[in-house]
Amino acid sequence: MARAPGMTAAARMPDPGLRLLPVLLALLVGAGGCRGDGDLSSLGLRYEAPRGMTYLADAPFSREASGGAIRGRRASFSGGLSLEVLEGLSVPLGMPTDELLPALGLVLPGRVMDRRQGQLGLGPCVRVELKDEDLRTMIYAVPLGGMRTLVVQYQAPSSAYGSGSAAVERSLGTLARLPPG
């Protein structure tokens, strides 16, 4: 290989730190992807969030509900998405919406636009959609058995809600229970 005038052999060699950069980036992306792309072991679930909704963190929480304090664990994602597993609560799906949301400890602005019962891979569910001025909210409640309830909540401005809610609903097909242990 011809070298430029004044260039030494050492100058042609890339900096050793730069050679490691692609490897380090792959490791960082891979480590972040493992947690946010599937394994929500702290919730006992496997879930692949929609593209662009990146896993941020999960943490325990407690809040007041119509039946008293409830506790659980919440996984938060960018873009207004969260998954919560409520402990000690199994919500009847036939419960009226004005009782269902307070039973889940949810106080959300807006009026109910739609409510449907359906089926996810995890089992039967209820889906509630609310609208308040420019804010839209979609909630899925899924009894997990053993006095546990999964609550999926997506909230976004009306301008982003259509495509975001469709992506979240498609991603719900990836929800699965992790084996115990």
Q: Checking phi first, is residue 63 left (phi over 0); if not, alpha (psi -120 to 50) or beta?
A: beta
pTM above 0.85, yes or no: no
pLDDT on residue 146: 87
Residue 20 identity (one-letter amino acid): L
pLDDT on residue 91: 84
Domain residue limits, the chain: 32-177
Q: For 73-83, what is the mean pLDDT?
A: 97
Q: Which fold has domain 32-177?
A: Protein Transport Mog1p; Chain A (3.40.1000)
pLDDT tens sequence across 138-159: 999 999 998 999 999 999 999 9
pLDDT tens sequence across 100-141: 999 999 988 789 999 999 999 999 999 999 999 999 999 999
pLDDT tens sequence across 16-31: 443 433 333 333 333 3
Q: Which residues, listed in sequence order, are joined to residue 72 by a DSSP beta bridge? A: 61, 86
CB 86 within 8 A of CB 140: no
Which of residues 51 and 16 earns the better pLDDT score?
51
CB 111 within 8 A of CB 132: yes
Secondary-structure breakdown of the chain: helix, strand, coil percentages, each rounded to the nearest 5: 30, 45, 30
Smallest CA-to-CA distance from 49 within 176, 181, 168 is with 168
Q: For 60-65, what is the mean pLDDT?
A: 95
pLDDT on residue 76: 97
Q: For 64-90, what is the mean pLDDT?
A: 95
The DSSP bridge pattern shows strands 123-132 and 135-143 to be antiparallel
Residue 75 identity (one-letter amino acid): A
pLDDT on residue 102: 94
